[in-house]
């Protein structure tokens, strides 16, 4: 691949970007730059074929290798980068795209900055230390996502019931989207190499196939019972009322289907969690948030 600093998207070599930046990734700052150009070239293509790419949001732009590929397929890109040194480099490297209004650079923490209201998709090599928190800021927005995670995290996001990986993350991510692992990525694709393999996840937004009385309570209820995933639901509901906020957990156990109460959290499908959460909302009198 030829490299260009002229502003032409899709032509920048990731190693040359690092050299021009004069900065190496720092694992202590959660910086692992994706440098395999074959992987980089594939990443935007994992968006759904009908995805709206008029405004793509990138979290953790680094030295801009993925930013460059996104500019090749998107009308506009908003890139978030918290490291002021990298942000300064990006402003210089992508000055033409910024001047044209095709790239907006947001310097700040992805957990604190405002995401653009009109973003139509997000494609990101996420900082792994905050990947969960950032993902659950993105999922409720309801846009297609292609995100890089640690492989274990990615597999838990996409897991099915009755598998070792299935848990709170699987149910909560699946509440917002169809989630799938689309590519595993070796350590050697990054500089510096992380300690674990990575994986790209695609999340396509859709409404759940079940109804819940309150999204926040449903997700809190799921989180609560999975803290005791080895217990039966009967015990998990009773023992985690301080997390779920149930005022009357015994009333929920008494009213629920006996088979559901005898199962463990990892055996229940999302629709069954929705059934229990709805019952808990009706008879367990969830306490109001303080």
- Is 215 annotated to bind a ligand? Reply is no
What is the phi/psi pair of residue 188, to 5°?
A: -70, -10
Q: Which letter does DSSP use for residue 167 in this model?
A: S
Cβ 38 vs Cβ 24: under 8 Å:
no
User: Which tokens hold the place of 221?
Assistant: 């209820």
Of 56, 58, 52, which is closest to residue 34 (Cα–Cα)?
58
- Is 125 annotated to bind a ligand? Reply is yes
Q: Where are the alpha helices (DSSP H) in the chain?
A: 14-21, 37-42, 65-73, 84-93, 95-99, 131-138, 151-157, 168-176, 215-226, 233-239, 241-244, 249-255, 258-262, 270-283
User: Which tokens hold the place of 233?
Assistant: 């639901």
- Is 83 annotated to bind a ligand? Reply is no
- Is 32 annotated to bind a ligand? Reply is yes
Return the biggest CA–CA distance within the chain.
Answer: 68
- Is 214 annotated to bind a ligand? Reply is no
The CA distances from residue 156 to 138, 212, 273, 278, in Å, are 17, 23, 17, 25
- Is 239 annotated to bind a ligand? Reply is no
Known binding residues: 32, 34, 60, 81, 109, 125
- Binding-site members for S-adenosyl-L-methionine are 32, 34, 60, 81, 109, 125
């Amino acid at each position: 691949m030829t490299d260009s600093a002229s502003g032409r998207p899709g032509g920048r070599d990731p190693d040359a970007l690092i050299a021009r930046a004069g900065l190496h990734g720092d694992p202590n700052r959660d910086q692992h730059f994706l440098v395999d150009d074959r992987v980089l070239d594939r990443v935007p293509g994992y968006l759904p074929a009908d995805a709206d790419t008029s405004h793509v949001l990138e979290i953790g732009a680094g030295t801009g290798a993925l930013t460059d590929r996104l500019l090749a397929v998107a009308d506009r890109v908003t890139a978030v980068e918290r490291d002021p040194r990298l942000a300064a480099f990006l402003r210089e490297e992508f000055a033409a795209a910024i001047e044209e209004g095709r790239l907006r650079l947001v310097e700040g923490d992805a957990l604190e900055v405002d995401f653009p209201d009109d973003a139509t998709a997000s494609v990101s090599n996420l900082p792994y230390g905050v990947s969960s928190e950032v993902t659950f800021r993105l999922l409720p927005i309801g846009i297609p996502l292609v995100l890089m995670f640690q492989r274990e995290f990615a597999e838990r996001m996409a897991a099915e019931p009755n598998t070792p990986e299935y848990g709170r993350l699987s149910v909560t991510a699946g509440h917002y989207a169809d989630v799938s692992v689309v590519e595993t990525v070796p350590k050697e694709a990054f500089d510096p190499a992380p300690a674990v393999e990575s994986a790209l996840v695609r999340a396509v937004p859709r409404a759940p196939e079940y109804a819940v009385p309150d999204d926040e309570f449903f997700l809190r209820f799921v989180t609560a019972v999975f803290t005791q995933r080895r217990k039966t639901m009967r015990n998990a509901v009773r023992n985690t009322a301080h997390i779920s906020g149930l005022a009357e957990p015994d009333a929920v156990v008494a009213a629920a289907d006996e088979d559901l109460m005898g199962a463990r959290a990892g055996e229940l499908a999302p629709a069954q969690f929705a059934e229990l959460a709805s019952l808990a909302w009706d008879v367990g009198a969830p306490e109001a948030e303080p």
